[in-house]
């Protein structure tokens, strides 16, 4: 009989590096706009020690916006130096990769040293330019996301796209899927809306049970039709 091998390393660990963010997403679970006072070097070092010891297979670094943390480059360097081949697959969640070419260059260098595309990015796109900009509360942000994607493609760095479906953008799923396919995203992640934090005020935007059922059917149908990778 075929044996199922289970790793003794945790499959996934999420590290929300900072609460700082420059967007105003109406659905966001994060209520802060600035860095929290506890985001000190001491705390970062303690968390880093734990990550190195736990050796997760996948590490999601997010926020807030991970690129707004002054420690992001240092953390990536430390993980590479201290974990070497055991470095997890890392996904950097940001909405301002277009302004972070220094980190993109560092990721390109680290990936080259590691000999694979282990460090990747995750960008949210919630619909067409108009719908996306409205949801994130930032006019012109969709355009910045596309600039960010082009920057990643210039450096050959893999990325995934994500959408949080609510009543506001329920009719945008095909638009975002087409964008993911067009730009060559490795994955389109569909996150379930969790109405907490700022998002608690948008509770009525939560999909109905019929819409969730439709969404599951949509995922199955599109996966079959396109042989693409939905969640």
Ligand X SMILES: C[S@@+](CC[C@H](N)C(=O)[O-])C[C@H]1O[C@@H](n2cnc3c(N)ncnc32)[C@H](O)[C@@H]1O
54 versus 194: smaller Cβ distance to ligand X: 194
- The CA-atom distances, in angstroms, between 114 and each of 84, 86, 117, 125, 145 are 8, 10, 8, 29, 27
**Cα angle at 60 between 57 and 63, to 5 degrees?**
160
Tokens 């005020």 belong to residue = 201
Q: Which helix (H) or strand (E) holds 124?
A: strand 119-124
Question: Under rule CB under 6 A, which residues in 42-81 are in contact with ligand X?
Answer: 62-65
Q: In angstroms, give the least distance from the CB of 184 to ligand X.
A: 19
Candidates 1-9, 36-44, 48-56, 88-96; binding stretch for ligand X (CB under 6 A): 88-96
29 three-state secondary structure = coil
Which lies closer to ligand X via its Cβ, residue 159 or residue 218?
159
Residue 205, helix vs strand vs coil: helix
Q: Give the binding range for ligand X (CB under 6 A) out of 25-33, 71-79, 152-160, 216-224.
A: 25-33
Residues 124-163 touching ligand X, rule: CB under 6 A, are 124, 162
- How many residues bind to ligand X according to rule CB under 6 A? 21
Burial of 97 (0-12, 13-18, 19+ CB in 10 A): buried
Which residue from 127, 199, 205, 218 is in contact with ligand X, where contact means CB under 6 A? 199
Chain positions contacting ligand X, by CB under 6 A: 21, 23, 25, 27-30, 62-65, 93-95, 124, 162, 164, 191, 193-194, 199
């Amino acid at each position: 009989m075929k044996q199922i091998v289970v790793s003794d390393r945790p499959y996934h660990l999420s590290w929300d590096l900072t609460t700082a963010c420059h967007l105003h997403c109406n659905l966001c679970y994060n209520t802060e706009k600035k860095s929290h006072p506890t985001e000190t070097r001491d705390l970062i070092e303690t968390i880093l020690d734990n990550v190195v010891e736990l050796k997760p297979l996948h590490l999601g670094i997010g926020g807030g916006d991970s690129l707004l943390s002054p420690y992001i480059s240092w953390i990536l360097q430390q993980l590479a130096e201290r974990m070497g081949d055991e470095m997890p697959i890392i996904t950097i969640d940001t909405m301002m990769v277009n302004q972070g070419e220094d980190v993109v260059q560092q990721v390109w260098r680290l990936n080259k040293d590691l000999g694979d595309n282990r460090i990747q990015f995750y960008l949210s796109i919630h619909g067409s330019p108009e719908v996306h900009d409205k949801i994130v509360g930032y006019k012109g942000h969709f355009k910045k996301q596309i600039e960010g994607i082009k920057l990643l493609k210039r450096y050959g760095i893999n990325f995934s796209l994500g959408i949080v479906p609510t009543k506001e953008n329920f009719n945008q799923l095909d638009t975002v899927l087409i964008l993911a396919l067009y730009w060559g995203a490795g994955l389109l992640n569909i996150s379930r809306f969790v109405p907490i934090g700022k998002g608690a005020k948008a509770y009525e935007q939560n999909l109905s049970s019929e819409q969730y059922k439709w969404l599951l059917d949509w995922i199955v149908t599109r996966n079959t039709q396109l042989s693409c990778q939905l969640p």
